[in-house]
Structures are given as C-alpha cells and as structure tokens.
A = this chain, B = another copy of it.
Amino acid sequence: MKVLKEKVITDGVVLSDQILKVDSFLNHQIDPLLMKQIGEEFAERFKHGGVTKILTLESSGIAPSVMTGLCLDVPVVFARKRKSLTLQNKLLTASVYSFTKQEESKIAVSSEHLSASDVVLVIDDFLANGQAARGLIHIVEQAGAKLAGIGIVIEKSFQEGASPLREKGIKVESLVRIKSLKDGKIEFVKEANV
C-alpha cells in the first residue's frame, strides 16, 4: 500500500533492529484519513470473504478496524487486555506475550459478541512474532467461528510471525512488509504490486 509505505518512510522512527516506532500516525497519535484508506484497502482485500465480524486487540488495532468495519458494514470487537467490571459474561481468553512490553498478558472477549456463525477477520497494527495474532485466532477457535483471514497494517517480515500462519493456509494480508530495520534503515520486502 503505497501511501502507507510513504508514511512509514517519512514518519517511522527506527528505535532498534527490532522496533519501529510509528507513534505519530498509528500507535499514539492517529492519522484518521490514513486509517480510512487502510480500512478501504482491507475491505477490498477481504470483500469476498463473507466477513461478519472484525476482531482486534486494544488499543492500536481499533482505529484501522473501525474503518474496515465501516467499509464492510460489520461490527468490530476489540479484545481487552484486562478485565473490567462491566465485562462480566462468559469470556473467551488467550495468553499473549508482548516482546515490546516484555510481559505476558491475558486477552479476553465476551462470548456474547462472537459466535459459531461468525466469519471473523482479525486485524492488528503489527505482526512481528505473531503472539497477538495467535491469541486472537485462539479466541476465534474457542467461539467455534470461522477465520476469514488476518489483516496487518505493518508486518515485520524478519521476525517469525507471518510464515507459520501462511503455511497453515491462513490468508494473511499485510499492507506493508518490512524486511529489515538494521543500521537504522527501513528496508521493505519487494513486492510486485507495491
């Protein structure tokens, strides 16, 4: 996705070989117009998937998911990282280890909002080690729902998250794919259509 790639180049900050900071348009400050374009792109890539629901993870997955949900005309459910007093019903849960935060957390979705009749598009901001994606897929499985695929804003292809998912036959659509962050430089995976 050209406009996103350009944004990553101009506004992304390489913090280390592993970490790309995109706090100025995705993870802390959000660019609403870019989110709309991202939503349109995900909707285009998954429009034939029969999607009935989008599942994401708070907080950075919410903006791109809501824009995608608007285009596909389906609700968005965001998994919570901590229980809240108003989230009382039966929960579908998974454990997710965050390498960025260096901690394990439990993510939860109320079973009220995900059922066996759903076809679920999982969306997240980053795909790195695949922990969050696997957690979300585990929740989809617990609900007995069907997985339409995974939409990722930025894939760090040099980490091991994406390949095992694609090898399982899961449709993983990443809007930009980063090959390397070595020496403070952002190198993208070369793709025919970008």
A residues touching B (Cβ–Cβ < 8 Å)? 15, 19, 21, 23-25, 27-33, 35-36, 58-59, 62-63, 65-67, 69-70, 73-78, 80, 84-88, 100-102, 109-110, 112-113
Q: In whole Å, how far is A73's beta carbon from the nearest beta carbon of chain B?
A: 7
The answer to whether A66 and B67 have CB atoms under 8 Å apart is: yes
17 CB-based A-B contacts, threshold 8 Å: A15-B86, A15-B88, A19-B86, A23-B86, A24-B113, A25-B75, A27-B84, A28-B109, A30-B65, A30-B75, A32-B70, A32-B75, A35-B66, A58-B58, A59-B80, A84-B100, A85-B102
CA distance A21 to B85 in the complex (A): 10
Q: Which residues of B contact A102 (CB under 8 A)?
A: 85
Q: B77 near A112 (CB under 8 angstroms)?
A: no
* Residue of B62, B101, B109, B110 touching A30 (CB-CB under 8 A): B62
Chain B: CB-nearest residue to A99: B85
CB of A107, distance to nearest CB on chain B (Å): 12
Q: Could you tell me the distance in whole angstroms from the C-beta of A80 to the nearest C-beta in chain B?
A: 7
| Separation of A85 and B98 alpha carbons in the complex (Å) | 11
* Whole-angstrom CA separation of A38 from B158 in the bound complex: 40
The CA of A101 and the CA of B84, in the complex, are separated in Å by 6
**Contact A28 to B85, CB < 8 A, known contacts A23-B112, A58-B59:** no
Give bound CA distance, A101 to B80, whole Å.
13
Chain B residue at minimum C-beta to C-beta distance from A57? B59
Contact between B23 and A110, CB atoms less than 8 A apart: yes
Residues of B within 8 A of A29 (CB): 75-77, 113
